Amino acid sequence: MIRAISADICVIGAGSAGLSVAAGAAQMGARTVLIEAARMGGDCLNTGCVPSKALLAAAKAAANIRHAGRFGVQAGEPQVDFAAVNRHVHDVIAQIAPHDSVERFTGLGCTVIQARARFVDERTVETGEQRIRARRFVIATGSRAAVPPIPGLADLPFFTNENIFENKALPEHLIVIGGGPIGCEMAQAHRRLGAKVSVLDLATILPKDDPDLVAIVRQALRADGITIEEGAKILKLERRDGGVAVVVADGEGERDIAGSHLLVAAGRRPNVEDLGLEAAGVQYSPKGIAVDQRLRTSNRRIFAAGDVAGSYQFTHLAGYHAGIVLRNALFRLPAKVDIGALPWVTYTDPELAHVGLTEAQAHAEGMDDVRVLTSPFAENDRARTERATEGLIKVVVSKRGQVLGAGIVGAHAGELILPWVLAVGQRMKIGALAGVIAPYPTLSEISKRAAGSYYTPTLFSPRTRRLVRMLRWLG
């Protein structure tokens, strides 16, 4: 017997977007059904943000021990128990998991179904034993690691973010294909924990960020001992001596890069298959589900949120999408997505954070009169005390002083970017940040110093000097 369920809102996918929608809807009194075919918490909790940052934290602890001599503290080379590091990663996941659990969401009033969902018509989903008919649906099925069509890859064992956190033995030599955020973060983590690491990318690493800031990350990765090969044309992959060999083009010939393990970090692919989207009248492509600014699909009763909506694939964007969906689906308010102030962070050491327009993007949009304000970490007293002087902030400002974008590379860049997110989102003038009182000594003074530099040409100009002399004559 198939059990019929009626709901106000049915959410497919219990990742960041789906959980946020379901929690909000249930707590506001909507009859809510949440369907998840795999693990509650989705990619972020189980194979993404949480385990990767836990691994990076362990790697940073090892690096701090290795470099403690800078502070007069003699420690030497750390002894890394990689299996214990893996236990640390899974302990962190376990600590957060109750917040995303079936029990919590049932307690909030959701009907939680752990099964695969498929649309059978424009208003109905089946899970095998249940048939859910709802006023509104939200597709939040996320994304998965993309596997590029490299000859030989299908015949080799390899890691993606979906299984690398199950590995309990330190790789001897990890080859990373892909120099995006995941590739760079995992490369640095494994190198600092003792593995030899090579990163190969067809273009350049971290291509979405400002090249001046990326250059500092690149230098730091190489200083850690990571081999980075940009512009690498991979011809094929082969098994070699119990490991793997990557055959790359080298001028007119070929050369091999041999390693023990392979990590493929070549982007993400939205999960749109086997959902019955055709039966629901939902348009989609391999890039994701087509949505309007209100996150409505071609079937206006169905919304899509998070990675599957085909936009930037960030947990914080998924949470933002959830708010847009709730306002539209429950209250019929015409809330629209605006990602003009969307920040992102790559959690290498140093971190790289960005919001708004880069200098190149501003010029590409015809803004030839923008000003670029900078301040190096090397001139910040707190950075000096912590021996963390590798870094830079770049702020893009319009001719009239409006903050258009900011990028920061350096210690705690992900924390330092927040006031710039506010400035870009609220279209603030640079004077608002130049005038704040920043506590001393803090890294946040870097932002104030960059903002204040906007006024330097005026404050110390010949005109100002003449004005000061004139006022002096007046007594």
pLDDT at site 203: 96
Residue 473 covered by a domain: no
> What are the C-alpha distances in Å from 1 to residues 17, 24, 33, 125, 372?
31, 31, 19, 15, 66
Residue 200: alpha-carbon gap to chain centroid: 20
pLDDT at site 461: 85
pLDDT at site 80: 98
Residue 466 covered by a domain: no
Are residues 169 and 308 both part of a single domain?
no
Are residues 157 and 48 both part of a single domain?
no
Binding-site residues sit at 53, 141-143, 178-185, 267, 307
Taking alpha carbons only, the member of 263, 282, 272, 266 closest to residue 117 is 272
Cα separation of 145 and 306, whole Å? 15
Are residues 141 and 163 both part of a single domain?
no
Are residues 119 and 171 both part of a single domain?
no
Binding-site residues for FAD sit at 53, 141-143, 307
Are residues 444 and 369 both part of a single domain?
yes
Are residues 197 and 257 both part of a single domain?
yes
Neighbours of 240 (CB within 10 A): 16
User: What range does the domain containing 259 cover?
Assistant: 153-266
Are residues 42 and 99 both part of a single domain?
yes
Sequential pLDDT tens for the chain (475 residues): 789 999 999 999 999 999 999 999 999 999 999 999 999 999 999 999 999 999 999 999 999 999 999 999 998 899 999 999 999 999 999 999 999 999 999 999 999 999 999 999 999 999 988 999 999 999 999 999 999 999 999 999 999 999 999 999 999 999 999 999 999 999 999 999 999 999 999 999 999 999 999 999 999 999 999 999 999 999 999 999 889 999 999 888 899 999 999 999 999 999 999 999 999 999 999 999 999 999 999 999 999 999 999 989 999 999 999 999 999 999 999 999 999 999 999 999 999 999 999 999 999 999 989 999 999 999 999 999 999 999 999 999 999 999 999 999 999 999 999 999 999 999 999 999 999 999 999 999 999 999 999 999 888 888 888 888 888 888 7
Are residues 8 and 125 both part of a single domain?
yes
Are residues 24 and 134 both part of a single domain?
yes
* Angle at CA of residue 255, ends 251 and 257, nearest 5°: 135
Residue 339 covered by a domain: no
Residue 92 covered by a domain: yes
CATH number of the domain within which 237 lies: 3.50.50.60
Are residues 23 and 141 both part of a single domain?
yes
pLDDT at site 468: 84
Binding-site residues for NAD(+) sit at 178-185, 267
Is residue 91 within a helix (H) or strand (E), and if so which, with residue range?
helix 82-96
